[in-house]
């Protein structure tokens, strides 16, 4: 599966391997029979609304409302904030790193920026000792996690799952379909990278790509299949884990003590457990409707579907006033991502993934619940 960089993850060349399953799902073989069930029931599913005439498809939210006049500058500022916040925690992180270095006999910490060099030293000190390298990296990760979580607590994931489950239950889908989707969400859990390393990584090929990601601004959804399926004794079929990297929390420290705005990100990641990779036929009508309404198709609709479920559950978290500011912070991570929406080729081929503008205006901006909280009433163009 090709990397899909315009998701919530930050992908670097070194992370290409990890990126193959980051923030996305592979085709879930275990889901095929369930999906066939869904297909067989499709005729009884609620009809997808017909696309509105073009003149009526204008979004209730403009891209600039959420990402500002210069979205690239916004993401640059976010990255600077993440780096500065990490730098400020270095004195707190250093003694913990020193203890790990001593325990494992790793090269002495450098002066100045020691974090990345210490993490990388594990790969060349223990290139063939998977248990030892896992142990050292997990302990380094724990030191970073403790320092970051001390300043920016993790949002309540139970609330995130409950909101998504409530949204699935209130949908027009058939009861057995709802039950299947709810089950997938219930089997999704949130973990930190130290837990991911200890519990789910079984090879160096999986471990090394994690090193440059430990302080990156990202979260991943990794499914049962992504994590080795039946070969991994820690997993149950249909289970997924959301890995929240400390960098995403560092980026959320805005200096004014405001809480993290990760509801949307975590809803989106959780919704990957029920996206079109798992249930392609369930969403075929919705994808077709969007294609007709906006004239754009995607090679993979996972990101659109994850956004659809996330924004439809988001009103449970939105403040009754200051909604646009809340949404701006919620979307900050993807602002400026281009996708291929402007490409001439879009007319004859399918884009890999949606741009931030598409995601803001055509998914977020068309959600009736979000519009209601903001005090507007745009009609949904397409729905599930």
Binding residues for Zn ion, rule: CB under 5 A, are: 7, 23, 303, 306
Nearer to Zn ion, 142 or 252 (CB): 252
User: Cβ atoms within 10 A of the Cβ of 89, count?
Assistant: 21
Print burial letters for 39-76: b (CB count within 10 Å at least 16), e (below 16): eeeeeebeebeebbeeeebebbbebebbbbeebeebbe
Task: Quote the tokens at residue 254.
Answer: 């805005």
Least distance (Å) from Zn ion to the CB of residue 157?
17
Least distance (Å) from Zn ion to the CB of residue 268?
6
Task: Quote the tokens at residue 200.
Answer: 């789910």
Least distance (Å) from Zn ion to the CB of residue 64?
23
Least distance (Å) from Zn ion to the CB of residue 23?
4
Return the percent helix, strand and coil in the chain, to nearest 5.
60, 5, 40
Reduced to 3 states, what is the DSSP secondary structure of residue 315? helix
Nearer to Zn ion, 49 or 157 (CB): 157
Half-sphere exposure of residue 109: CA atoms within 13 angstroms, side-chain side:
19
Nearer to Zn ion, 61 or 305 (CB): 305
Nearer to Zn ion, 66 or 115 (CB): 66
Distances 163 to 119, 182, 215, 223, 350 between C-alpha atoms, Å:
37, 11, 28, 21, 32
Least distance (Å) from Zn ion to the CB of residue 333?
11
Least distance (Å) from Zn ion to the CB of residue 160?
15
Nearer to Zn ion, 106 or 271 (CB): 271
| Residue pair 263/310 in contact by the 8 Å Cβ criterion | no
Least distance (Å) from Zn ion to the CB of residue 132?
33
Nearer to Zn ion, 135 or 209 (CB): 209
Distances 244 to 11, 210, 219, 340, 362 between C-alpha atoms, Å:
15, 12, 5, 27, 27
Nearer to Zn ion, 121 or 337 (CB): 337
């Amino acid at each position: 599966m090709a990397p899909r960089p315009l998701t919530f993850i930050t992908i670097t060349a070194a992370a290409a391997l990890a990126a193959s399953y980051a923030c996305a799902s592979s085709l879930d073989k275990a889901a095929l029979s369930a999906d066939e069930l869904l297909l067989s029931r499709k005729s009884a599913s609620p009809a997808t609304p017909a696309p509105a005439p073009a003149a009526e498809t204008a979004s209730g939210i403009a891209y600039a409302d959420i990402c500002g006049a210069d979205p690239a500058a916004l993401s640059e500022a976010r990255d600077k904030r993440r780096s500065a916040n990490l730098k400020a925690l270095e004195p707190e992180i250093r003694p913990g790193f020193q203890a790990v270095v001593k325990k494992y006999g790793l090269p002495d910490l450098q002066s100045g920026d020691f974090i990345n060099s210490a993490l990388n030293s594990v790969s060349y000190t223990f290139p063939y000792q998977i248990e030892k390298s896992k142990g050292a990296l997990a302990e380094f990760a724990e030191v970073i996690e403790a320092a970051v979580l001390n300043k920016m607590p993790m949002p309540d994931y139970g609330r995130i799952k409950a909101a998504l489950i409530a949204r699935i239950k209130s949908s027009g889908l058939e009861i057995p379909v709802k039950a299947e989707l709810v089950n997938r969400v219930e089997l999704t859990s949130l973990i930190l990278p130290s837990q991911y390393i200890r519990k789910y990584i079984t090879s160096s090929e999986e471990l090394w790509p994690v090193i440059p990601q430990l302080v990156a601004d990202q979260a991943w959804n990794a499914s049962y299949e992504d994590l080795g399926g039946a070969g991994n004794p820690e997993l149950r079929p249909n289970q997924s884990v959301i890995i929240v990297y400390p960098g995403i929390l560092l980026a959320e420290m805005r200096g004014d003590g405001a809480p993290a705005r990760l509801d949307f990100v975590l809803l989106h990641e959780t919704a990957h457990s029920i996206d079109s990779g798992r249930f392609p036929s369930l969403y075929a009508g919705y994808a077709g409707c969007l294609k007709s309404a906006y004239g754009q198709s995607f090679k993979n609709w996972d990101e659109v579907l994850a956004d659809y479920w996330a924004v439809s559950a988001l009103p449970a978290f939105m403040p009754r006033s200051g909604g646009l500011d809340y949404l701006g912070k919620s979307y900050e991570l993807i602002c400026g991502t281009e996708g291929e929406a402007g490409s001439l080729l879009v007319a004859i081929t399918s884009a890999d993934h949606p741009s931030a503008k598409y995601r803001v205006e055509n998914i977020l901006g068309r959600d009736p619940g979000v519009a209601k909280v903001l005090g507007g009433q745009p009609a949904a163009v397409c729905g599930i």
